[in-house]
Structure 1
C-alpha cells in the first residue's frame, strides 16, 4: 500500500512538472512570432482570475492549465528578442533550467551549515563576478532582489562605515543623535538610489546634487566640499544615455574630501566584462561599494541584484543576524550575514549557471553584440533624418522624431503595432523614444525587422522629411 502511494505521488510530481515544462517551452518558442504587446482580449480575460477561493482542492494540472491559458497570452513579451523598453535581458535557457532546479532543491540559502551546497556555489559565483567585473578580489558580496536593494545593502554598509569613523555605532544606536551624513549624487541620479537613501533614513531630498554634462555624467570638478561624514553616489550606465560617470576622477576627489564612493552600476558595470567597452568603467576599482543587476546584461531570471563592498566587515556589521537557535559556523560564510533577507532563495545558482555557460568570451560577446545593435539602430534612424540625442556608448539609444506630440504618437503606434516595444522618456527637456538592447536572443534579423517598422511608422507622421 505504501509503495503504491509513493508510486502515485511520484507520478503526480512527474506529470505536473512535465506539463509545466511543455507550457514553458511553447511560450518561449512562440515569442518570436507573437506580438510583443498582449492583445486586448487576453487582458480582458484576466478577469476570469477574479473569483472566490474554492473550498475544495483543485487538481494541480487544472490549476496549471488555467495559468497557461489566461496568463501566458496576457504577458508582455519581455523575454523575447524585440522588447527594447527597459534594460531587461531575457533569461538564458540555462538560467531558466537552473532556476527550476534550484526551486526543486528549495534551499533557504541563509546559513552554510543548513544549505552548504548553495552557500558554497554563491561564494564561487561571487568570486567569478568580481573577476569579470574588474572589482577588487577581496570584496564582500551579496545576492539580493534587484538594483534598489543592492544599493540599499551597499549604502547600509557605507552608513555604518562613515559613522563608525565619527565614533557612532548606527546599527546599535540608530540615527537618533548620530552625526548627519552628507550625501552627494549627480543630477541624473537613478530614482532607485534615492529610494535606497530614503529607506536608510538618509533622505531622498536632503542630497547635494552635483551638475552633469550633456550626456548625464557627473562633473567631478563640480563636487563641492562636503561636510563629513559623507557619501558620494556615482553612476556607471545612465538609464537614458548609457553614459558612465568619470569614476576615477570622482574617486580622487572623494579621497581629498574623505568621502565614501558608491557606484550605481545596474547595467553599466557589465561593460567591464567586455574588452572593447571596459574603458568606460576605468577607475571603478577605486570605489568603496557597487550595485548591479544580473537580470539585466547577464540575462538571468528575476530577481537577481548584486551588492559588493570593499570593506566586508562594514557589510557584515550592517547585515549580520545572530540568535541562539541559529546553527551558524564561524569558519564558513553565512549568506544571511551579508543580505537584508534571512529567508531567501538561492539566487546565486542562476548566476553561476550563466557565467559557467557563457565563459568570459560568451559574456563579452553578449554585451558587445547588443551594443553593436544599439549603434545600428542609431545609425539607421539618424540616416533617415531623425535626431539621436545621446552618444551611443553602450546599449541605450534616444531618438526624437521632432515635436513631443509627434514623438509620442509614433511611440504609441509602434507599441500597439507589436513587432517591437520601445519606451518613452524625457531627456533634458526633450521627449524621446528610448531603445534598450540587452537580450541574448536578439539577432540581426530582429533589429532589421524592428527598424523597418520604426521607419514606416515614423514616415507616416513625419512624411520622410528631415526634422532637424
Structure 2
C-alpha cells in the first residue's frame, strides 16, 4: 500500500500548530458565512487531486471559520478541550480505522471500551456490574437510558415493547424536573412516547428538583408504568437534584430512575464535590458526556445501565450475517449504532493520562475558577444570578436587552466566548468553565474584557 507518512505528518503538524495557537488566537469567529461557504463550494472536480493538495485546500477553506473552542477562554456550552493523549489516540484511531461493532470486527476496540468503562464506573461511583455503551453525546446517552427504562417498565406491566411496539401498550408516565435538559424531551419523542406525558416537577431556588413536589407527583401523578428523570448538573446553574432522597422515593412508589448527568455527574470524581451527587448509585440508568468536563475529543459520551440484560434487550439486535452477535452484550449491543467509530481508544488514553487524581483535580480546579469568575464579576458591579455550586456562572447586566448586547459584544471581541441563556424569565450570560488548560490568568483576562465591554 501507499506510504502515508508524509500526508499524515502534514495533517498532524497542522493540528499541532492549531492547538499551539489556541491561547493567542481570537476565541470567536467573525467570518462572513457566505464567504466561508464559497470557499467550500464549486463544482466537484472531474478528476481526482493528490491527497496533499486536498489537505491544503481543506485547511485553507476551513481556517477562517475555526472556533477556538478547545482553548482556555472558551466558556460556552460546557465545552472542554481534548487532552493531548486523547487527541493523539484519536489521530491513531483514525489511522487504524477500526469498526467497533463487536469483538469480531475489532477485538482491540471492544477491549479498550471494556477497560475504560470499568475506570469510568469507578470514578463516578456507578455499580461495577453496570453496562456501558459508548455513544456520541448526552442526546444519545439519554435515548439509550430511556429506551432501557421503556423496556423494563412495560415488561413489568406484561408488555413486550420490542416485539409489539407501543400501539395498545399500557400508558407510561414520565416525571421530570421542569428545568430538565431539552435532550430528555427529544429522547421521549424519538422513542415514540412524546412530551405530553411528562409530569413536570417544580425546581427549587437554584434549579434542583423540589423534593416535596416530587413526593406529591409520585403520590398523585401518573399511575401505571413510570419513569422518573433526574438531573446531575442543571444546564444553567450546575445544581444537582437530591439524588439519594429522590431515588429512595421512587423505590417506595415504583418506577425507573434515569439520571441525566451530562456534565454534573463528574462531581462524583472529586471528594470535594461528591456530596452534590450523593446517592447516584441508586439510579437505574445514567447519561454522561466525555467531551465536556473530561476533556475528550468530540464525540464521546456514555450510557450506563444498572441492568445489563435490560440494556441489551432494549438496544441490541442479531442477524445471520452479523458474526459475533448473540453473546455477552458489548459494543453495538449497547448503543443505537452498528457501524461505530472506535472512540474507546481516546477515552482509555484520556483517563490514563489524567488518572483518578487528575480527574478530581480537573473538577476541583474548574469549580474554583468558576467561583473566581463570579467573585470578579460581582466586584465589577454585575449580578451573579445563581449559587455557584459547580462550574456554571449566570451573570446579569441589568435589563434583558443590555445583557444580550453585552453577550454579543463579548463574542465579537474575541478575548473570550460566553453564550446567552434564559433562566427564570431573564436573559443572562452563561459561563461554563470546563477546559483543563484554563488558568486564573485566563479568568482574570476574561473578567476584564467583559467589564470593559459592559461599560
1:2-401 aligned within 5 A: 9-10=2-3, 13-40=4-31, 44-223=35-214, 224=217, 225=219, 226-328=222-324, 333-401=329-397
CA contact (8 A) 2:179 2:203 kept: yes
Highest CA radius of gyration, 1 or 2?
1
Task: Give deviations 1:303-333, integer Å, cap 9, x for gaps.
Answer: 1121001011100101112112222166654
Task: Tell me how large the CA RMSD over aligned residues is.
Answer: 1.3
Q: 2:193, 2:163 → 1: CA distance?
A: 17
Structure 1: any 5+ residue segments left out of the alignment?
A: 1-5, 461-468
Distance 1:316 1:45 in 2: 44
Would you say the 8 A contact 2:233–2:264 is kept in 1? yes
Per the TM alignment, residue 452 of structure 1 is displaced from its structure 2 partner at its CA by: 1.1
Maintained 8 Å contact 1:182/1:228: yes
Q: CA deviation at 1:386?
A: 1.1
For the residue of structure 2 that corresponds to 1:141, the secondary structure is strand
Q: Which residue of 2 aligns with 1:441?
A: 437
Deviation at 1:46, TM superposition (A): 3.6
1 CA distance for matches of 2:233 and 2:292?
12
C-alpha distance in 2, partners of 1:83/1:427? 21
Shift of 1:416: 0.5
Shift of 1:293: 0.5
In 1: Cα distance, 2:161 partner to 2:140 partner: 19
State the partner residue of 1:417. 413
Q: Where does residue 3 of structure 1 map in the other structure?
A: none
Q: Deviations over 1:28-72 (max 9, x none)?
A: 111111111123268724412111111100111111111111202
Verify the 8 A CA contact 1:119 1:333 in the aligned structure 2.
no
Once the two structures are TM-superposed, the CA of residue 106 in structure 1 deviates from its matched residue by 1.1
Q: State whether residues 104 and 324 of structure 2, in contact with CA within 8 Å, keep that contact through their aligned partners in structure 1.
A: yes
In structure 2, C-alpha distance between the alignment counterparts of 1:52 and 1:90, rounded to whole Å? 35
CA distance in 1, matches of 2:62, 2:426: 36
Q: 1:425 to 1:330 in 2, by over 3 A?
A: closer
SS in 2 for 1:421: coil
* 3-state secondary structure, aligned to 1:83: coil
Taking structure 2 as the reference length, what is the TM-score of the superposition? 0.97
Question: What whole-Å deviation, never above 9, does each CA across 1:78-131 have from its counterpart, x for those lacking one?
Answer: 111111011010110111110011111111111212311111111111111000
CA distance in 1 between counterparts of 2:330 and 2:125 reads 24
Output the CA distance in 2 between the equivalents of 1:279 and 1:40: 44
User: What do the CA deviations read for 1:195-237 (whole angstroms, capped 9, x no partner)?
Assistant: 0011001112321001111211111221212312000000000
Whether the 8 Å CA contact 2:29–2:412 is kept in 1: the answer is no
Q: Which moved more, 1:87-96 or 1:331-340?
A: 331-340
- Match of 2:418, SS? strand
The change in CA–CA distance for 1:116 and 1:239 in structure 2 (over 3 A counts) is same
Distance 2:328 2:138 in 1: 27
Change in CA separation of 1:413 and 1:329 when aligned onto 2, cut-off 3 Å: closer
What's the TM-score once normalised by structure 1's chain length?
0.94
SS of match in other structure, 1:34: coil
d(CA) in 2 for partners of 1:45, 1:190: 32
1:464 matched residue in structure 2: none
| Partner Cα separation in structure 2 for residue 15 and residue 256 of structure 1 | 63
- Which runs of 5 or more structure 2 residues have no equivalent in the other structure? none
Aligned residues: 450
Whole-angstrom CA distance in 2 between matches of 1:100 and 1:151: 28
Give how far 1:369 is off: 0.5
Deviation at 1:412, TM superposition (A): 1.1
2:437 is the counterpart of 1:431: no
